Structure 1
């Protein structure tokens, strides 16, 4: 029935757990999934390479050092082109469907207008995914069977972490195209730290993340053009001891995008990110997570 066969023989997502969670961190990689169900490929007008344009290629591998350091990682196997969990549950584009959408759907968001809703209409560069309109039930099935369980799993991880340590830090892991430029000078950032302009995490945490990466020789900016999506906004509640940072890694550092292949520098970047994670995890011994102090 609809999307049920898509992940019968392959999990839609998984949690990679350390032997023991030793730190108040949870890592999340919602866009690096690369299992494309045959039924979905049959619905698409794109070939097997073009449909991958929306992936955060290899991001779960880049951040894999978090798990041996004591933090769980939730990661998607379903691709972003199939379902985007970094959106509200019902950001849907009426142009994609053959029937009228239910009244609770948000069809007017900027993300929907760009074709990048919960069920995306396009991959990057505005390339249309589908050759014909979908039944509304298709979207409802993906949201009920995958989106909602994914977010329930993320909520559970954060709640367990908060109960154990008194606070929790979500690191939402992403990649950005090598073509991204910022500012009047057209500078290409290596990393962008997003905290929803100071609302999803303490200022000290964000500044520490930027300082660590800058100290390693990387060019780091904050919030522009990526401040964080639904996940960062929804789960970042610093006044309640829940901090969320989005980290964007420039793909030009580690891969060739047209061929979707890793560069020789991939493992060096992976080691640097593991070092960054280790240093970031050392912060809870200070006041970096006391938002009442940070906000004064």
Structure 2
């Protein structure tokens, strides 16, 4: 399978498109040692969010590394942050600007299209299908886009990123009441919080978030040092995870409860 999926019963789908670590052998053979370190992975998110399945949420996590193809970029590869630096659909370098491919081996247009069909489309087909299933069952559904990133990445932002970075595409991908219910819990915690700051939500949040149709999408980009070591070998830290997981659980429950209380979309 090209993803790891579990169907739940709540009107809630947790999506982890950048959690994948695998690179097909034929692609790996063209890559640099920097690429094979896979530093820009959203490490350990399936483990961090394992409790979501116990809550009754559906979950989907990518299998393939974002270096193969980025599941959270639009298929036409437009820049989600015009005027700002970002990586593309089939990235050519790491967040630290290290080349991903050996000279002469960067994917051409035909290879990008092949990867779209082979690796990108299956994830999105499953995502779309599960959203439709939950929407049919409940009348509304929350798509929780789970991401993580190193707390300091000079290429994309100055200084240290806040611990919890929520994105709702500038307030368009979900109802204000949902965003308020979730972010109020975060602001009451010991963690620093930003809403629609440097990260406003990627392609999945922007594309699938259609509040008028009953689909409410919200992205959470977490600093990785809240639950893991940011330096290689990027170890999971159960002690840190245990501190943030209760908050994540409260926020996911609040999202599901808001959806149930709001009733079907009209």
TM-score by length of 2: 0.88
Contact 2:146 2:219 in 1 (8 A): yes
Compare 270-279 and 160-169 and name the one that shifted more: 270-279
Whether 1:122 aligns to 2:93 is yes
Contact 1:32 1:79 in 2 (8 A): yes
Superposition deviation, residue 81 in structure 1: 0.9
> 1:41 maps to what in 2?
28
CA 1:148–1:112: 2 relative to 1, 3 Å: farther
Question: Aligned residue pairs: how many?
Answer: 259
Which one of the candidate residues 42, 46, 49 is aligned to 1:60? 46
- 1:113-171 CA deviation, whole Å, 9 max, x = no partner? 94622111112122111112334332121111121121111111111111111111100
Q: Distance in 1 between matches of 2:143 and 2:67?
A: 23
CA 1:161–1:187: 2 relative to 1, 3 Å: same
Q: Distance in 2 between matches of 1:113 and 1:42?
A: 31
Contact 1:62 1:269 in 2 (8 A): no
Q: Distance in 2 between matches of 1:213 and 1:168?
A: 21
CA 1:110–1:186: 2 relative to 1, 3 Å: closer
CA 1:39–1:208: 2 relative to 1, 3 Å: same
Say which SS state the counterpart of residue 15 (structure 2) adopts: strand
Superposition deviation, residue 17 in structure 1: 2.4
> 1:16 maps to what in 2?
6
Whether 1:225 aligns to 2:198 is yes
Q: Structure 2: 5+ residue runs without aligned partners?
A: none
Say which SS state the counterpart of residue 29 (structure 2) adopts: helix
- 1:177-208 CA deviation, whole Å, 9 max, x = no partner? 21269xxx966411011001110001111111
CA 1:180–1:281: 2 relative to 1, 3 Å: farther
Say which SS state the counterpart of residue 231 (structure 2) adopts: coil
CA 1:111–1:157: 2 relative to 1, 3 Å: farther
Say which SS state the counterpart of residue 261 (structure 1) adopts: coil
CA 1:254–1:63: 2 relative to 1, 3 Å: same
> 1:27 maps to what in 2?
14
Say which SS state the counterpart of residue 189 (structure 1) adopts: coil
Which one of the candidate residues 214, 236, 239 is aligned to 1:262? 236
> 2:117 maps to what in 1?
144
Superposition deviation, residue 266 in structure 1: 2.3
Superposition deviation, residue 285 in structure 1: 4.3
- 1:26-53 CA deviation, whole Å, 9 max, x = no partner? 1100001012222222110224653x12
Superposition deviation, residue 243 in structure 1: 0.6
Whether 1:215 aligns to 2:188 is yes
Q: CA RMSD, aligned part only?
A: 2.6
Superposition deviation, residue 291 in structure 1: 7.9
